Amino acid sequence: MKVAVVKYNAGNTQSLGFALNRLGVAYTLTDDPHELASADKVIFPGQGEASSAMAYLRHKGLDKVLIGLKQPFLGVCLGMQLMCTYSEENNTDCLGILPGKVRRFDDTLKVPHMGWNTITQLRGPLFEGINEGAYMYFVHSYYVEVTSYTTAVANYGVEVSTALQKDNFYAIQPHPEKSADAGMKFLENFINL
């Protein structure tokens, strides 16, 4: 199986790579459109800032490549946010794969939302074997609103989308590679799709 991890100068690729290695999965870190298109699975990791990340994707032509992929695709953290239509972070138009807007947490909350939080209302194949109310590790200042594509939620002053799915596109806000057993099970479920 060929797993490609999207290289776009934003992303926690090293931790994700260690997690994939623990699962016995070899992967390629790439921004090459042909490698991404020919992979069996694509992971779009995240950590960084929306507008500069989108600028890199557009510069490399990856914005058009990613939205056309047909294989299982997983966006993580910033990767999930960039899959949406628009982000309030520096007024950024995103990929538009998933309907929904990315909002900044209210200033009354401690931002970023950082640490362990429970995830609930779990549905879909990536949550098989993960208990309702499981804990996952979050680090984010922006969140995706709850939509009809939401497959899990968390609460941090407001109910937020923890995970989304539309067709072959999956996304998760917390970092599965840092989320102990629940996170590893989530990644394993994605690899086994």
How many structural domains comprise the chain? 1
Q: In this predicted structure, what is the pLDDT of residue 46?
A: 81
Its domain, for residue 164, covers: 3-191
pLDDT 10s digits, 79-110: 999 999 999 999 999 999 999 999 999 999 99
- pLDDT surpassing 80 at residue 155: yes
Q: Which CATH number goes with the domain that contains 91?
A: 3.40.50.880
Give catalytic residue positions. 77, 175, 177
Separation between Cα atoms, residue 132 and residue 42, nearest integer Å: 26
**Confidence class for position 12, pLDDT limits 50, 70, 90:** confident
Closest of 137, 193, 135, 136 to residue 169, by C-alpha: 193
| pTM of the predicted protein model | 0.97
How high is the pLDDT of residue 83?
A: 98
